[in-house]
Amino acid sequence: MTRASRTKPLPVRHAAGHRRFIAASRSDGIVSAVPEDNRGRGIIAATPVRSAQRGFTLLEMVVVMVIVAAAVLLGAMATTGGTQRMQLHSSTKQIAANLRYTRAQAIATGVPQRFTIDPRGHAWQAPNGRHGKIPAALDVNFTGARQVQPEAGVGAILFFDDGASTGGRVQLASGRAAWNVDVAWLTGEVTLKRVRQ
């Protein structure tokens, strides 16, 4: 054995006519047998002593399962709320960007351009075939001039060649959080504002 350790002699019985051995217990859990007349020259046998391992009780397993279930539930709630907030923010930015695009097209072409939104259908449409969907988890409200509505239940904002518009507001909401996309009628400027309901 190359590793040195302290030993403690243990008594070993022997029968007459047999070679006598001395057993020693070491601090690392190894029991060694050494000939009495040849101690210090080598070890004939070494056997590791294994300690019994303690298992889990039923109560401990139940506590662990309860903790894991609670963590999964909290994680799911946080993920759901976070997803809806991300959808609210990204959808608001998308609508604002396409309102600005509609205004830019009116100025560039010299022809009035229309942006439409269907709150019940959760859909919007801009010039040149641009269109998109609003996640069903979000609430959609529109306020604008009734004279330019293409049909009942569908809102519209008309931009003119000088950049002005008929004005209006698109509001997207999720729970108590909401974003307003406002279009000024005089200048056609598009602004975003976060509000709480």
Residues 6+ apart with CB under 8 A from 89: 179
Instruction: Give 33-72 pLDDT, tens digit per residue.
Output: 555 555 445 444 445 555 555 677 888 888 888 898 888 7
C-alpha separations of 57 from 54, 67, 75 in Å: 9, 16, 27
Instruction: Give 106-147 pLDDT, tens digit per residue.
Output: 999 999 999 999 999 999 999 999 999 999 999 999 999 999
Q: Are 158 and 167 in contact (CB under 8 A)?
A: no
Round to whole Å and give the CA distance between 178 and 89.
9
Q: Which of 164, 165, 161, 156 is nearest to 109 (CA)?
A: 161
